Each structure stands twice: as structure tokens, then as C-alpha cells.
Amino acid sequence: MRTDFVFTSESVTGGHPDKLCDWISDAVVDRFLEQDPFTRVITEAAVATGVVFIAARFASPATVDIPEVARQVIDHAGYRDPDFNPRDCTVLTRFRELPPEEYSRVDEGDLSDADLDRLPAGNQVNVFGFACRQTDVLLPLPIGMAHGIAARLTEARETTPELGLYPDGKVQVGVEYRDRRPFRIHSVSLIAAQRRAEQPSPARLREALIEEVIRPALEASGLPADGGANLYVNPAGPFIGGGPAAHSGMTGRKNAIDTYGEYSRHSGAALSGKDPSRVDRIGAYAARHAAKNVVAAGLAEECEVQLSYTVGLSRPVSLQVETFGTGKRADAEIARRLEGLLDFRPGGILRRFGLRHLPRERDGRFFQKLAVHGHMGRAGLDLPWEETGTAGALE
């Protein structure tokens, strides 16, 4: 196991075409679940120059104007220019209503333990959860910083219009590790799409974004940054326009950004665009919850939890824990404690986190808030898989 290395992670703004598709997909899921918490829905989107394509499969009595939802998200993302805007873009749709047997009004909160055993996983998937001591929210520092800088870049676009920023942006943060602990900030690379090449000048844009966007994140990290840290703004030259007119997007192509920035393993299955009955989505949340509580309990400095589900079985066929040599108990013992304390059956996860009802409880905006800046470690969103109340029982 390497102990000294540099690791980089990437984040993007909500106007990045891939993230825009995640955002649209989760907004559709929210709108369905707000009306009917028992909706079964899968939504995928793709964008290109002037075009949005949305495919949706659903079983629900809810009525959702899916093209209008997409236009609202595009508007909120900040697209106003002629090449892509919510008023003029073409929205193509292909819907499939699932057969009646796919729809059920069973509320897992009302079921017995034996009933939950009869609710099997509908998909086969390996999901991973990870937590570590590198940040207050127990995420790896590179992805945590990248998300923070991406959010500040969006804020700068909204509050400082003279910078002429476009909604599309990308951030990469490199952290130097010594003995597997963050030692210093190695580099920050920020790609900010501009509306025009001549305004402002590259030098002015670089100066403004370093001071307004990058520098606050460096100071908040608590690590040395001035000793040779490399700071780049549009290192390949001005990036004009950006968005779907420059590069296409699709739901589910930013899984590492959604989770741990590739510092830990993650599932190949997308998180966005799926209702809470999908174990490939909620299993990832349950694995994160387990790993975070292990670290919060002081049982390890780093923890990865892996769950394996197979079609037709309610319980994971495998639960594995890896603490990378930092555990105060054997990994197998930690896994045994997790298995005895937490319910990893799909119905048990739904009951424990109340996921069917959160869109209605949060004014129709729950899952779509996760689509940008990550599904894990989101301080301020009150996510059930981020709570650490189970830590005491694990000690």
C-alpha cells in the first residue's frame, strides 16, 4: 500500500452537460414522488446543441409535465444564450408506462420484519460506501475541495456578471499525501467557460477566480498551499461558450464526482434518475452510512463498506469492510457489528431513511439537490445517510 502520493479529484458545476442531465433526471424523480411517494420511475436525459432528449419509464398515477421540468432546470442552471436556452431548445421525449403489476402502494414503514424479507432486490449490483478523517464531513479532501470550488465558481458567475462566465465549469484538485494523510495542496486546475474571448482578459479572469474562488478554498483546507502549489485557470486557453453546444451530456456519466472522487471504489451504476426502490441507488447510501458511522465511532481512520446484491434476494449476499490498516478492530469484526446493527435489505433501507417521502417533505426538491456537488458529505442538506447516531452502538 502506497503511503506517499499525489491524488487528484474532479468536480463540475451544475451547467456541465453531464451534470445538467443528472439534474433534469432527478428533478423528474422528485416531481413524481412529490405527488405519489410510491411511484416507480427511471429517467435518463441526454443533451446536445439545442436539444434535450428524455427517456422515462414509470408506473404512477401522478401527472408530470416532463418537458417543462427540463426547461425549469435549464433556466435555473443559467443558460440564456441563443445556442442553448430553456425557451428555444427542442425537448424530445420517449415515455413508457410500466404494467400495473410494477406499481404498489406498499409502505415499508408499515411492514413487519418478515414482510421486508419478501421484498427482494430488483437488481444485481455491488455498491460501496467510504468515509475517512480528512474532512469534517468525513470525505476525502480532494473531492471535498473540488466540490467547494465548483460551488464557488457557480456563485461567482451569479454574483459577478462582469466576469462573463458561462454555466459550464470544471475543477480538479490535487493533494499531496504523506503517510496516507493530506500534507499540502499540490494543485488546483479550474476550467471556467466564458461567454466571449475578449471580456475579461485571460489575466483578469485568472486573477479574479484565484482570489474569489480558489483562495478561500485553500485557506479553508487548513493545509499549506503557497509552497509551490500550482494554480491554473483555463490552462488550455479561453473556453468559449461551453455547455451542450460545445460537448454533449448524459445522465450517469459522473459517478466518481457523485461519490468519492475515485479515492475509493464506487459502483458502476448511476445514482441519479432512479426512484428509491432501486437498490443500486439506495444501497450506495446505506453503504456510505455504515462507513461513516464506523469512522465516527473511532473504529477506523478510513473505512470502505461493500455490499453485494443479487436479484430475488432481500439481504446482501456479501458485506465486506476494509479499513486499510487503520482499524481498531479486525475488519471482519466491524462487518459483523454492522450486519447485526443495520438493516441492509432494500425495504429496510427505505424504512430507515424514509426515502419515498422526502421529496414531498422537502417541497419537491430533494433528490435534485444531490445531482450537483455530490450525493455524499452534503452538510446542510440533512441527509439521513449522513447522520452518525449509530456510531455509539458500534463502539
Q: Are residues 212 and 294 in the same domain?
A: no
Does residue 294 share a domain with residue 256?
yes
Contact 202, 191 (CB under 8 A): no
* Pair 289, 382 in one domain: yes
Number of domains in the chain: 3
| pLDDT tens figures, 95-139 | 999 888 888 888 898 889 999 999 999 999 999 999 999 999 999
Instruction: Please write the tens of the pLDDT for every residue from 75-89.
Output: 999 999 888 999 999
Residue 226: per-residue pLDDT:
63
Q: Are residues 61 and 28 part of one domain?
A: yes
**330 part of a folded domain:** yes
Cis peptide before 182 (omega within 30 of 0): no
- Co-location of 282 and 314 in the same domain: yes
Same domain, 259 and 201: no
Do 50 and 69 share a domain, yes or no? yes
| Range 193-221 average pLDDT | 90
Residues 13-39 have pLDDT tens digits of: 999 999 999 999 999 999 999 999 999
Q: For residue 43, how many other CB atoms are within 10 A of its CB?
A: 28
State residue 389's pLDDT score.
95
Q: What residue numbers bound the domain in which 30 lies? A: 17-99
pLDDT at 1 (0 to 100): 67
pLDDT per residue over 39-64, tens digit each? Answer: 999 999 999 999 999 999 999 999 99
State whether 302 and 356 are in the same domain. Answer: yes
- Asked whether residue 221 falls in the same domain as residue 324, the answer is no
Query: Among residues 351, 353, 357, which one has the least CA distance to residue 375?
Result: 353
pLDDT at 225 over 90: no
Same domain? 260 vs 355: yes
Q: Residues of the chain with pLDDT > 70: what percent?
A: 99
In a domain, 183, yes or no: yes
Q: Which of 41, 75, 99 is the last residue before a domain boundary? A: 99
Instruction: Give the mean pLDDT of 293-301.
Output: 98
- Confirm whether 107 is domain-assigned: no
Q: Which amino acid is at 2?
A: R
Write out the DSSP string of 95-135. EEEPPGGG-----GGG--HHHHHTS--SS-EEEEEEEETTS
Question: What does the alpha-carbon distance between residue 378 and residue 234 come to, in Å, rounded to a whole number?
Answer: 27
268 with 365, same domain: the answer is yes
In a domain, 343, yes or no: yes
Could you tell me the CATH number of the domain that includes residue 178? 3.30.300.10
Residues 6+ apart with CB under 8 A from 247: 17
What is the SS3 assignment for 202? helix
Residue 248 has pLDDT above 70, yes or no: yes
pLDDT tens sequence across 346-395 = 999 999 999 999 999 999 999 999 999 999 999 999 999 999 999 999 98
Same domain for 388 and 319, yes or no, is yes
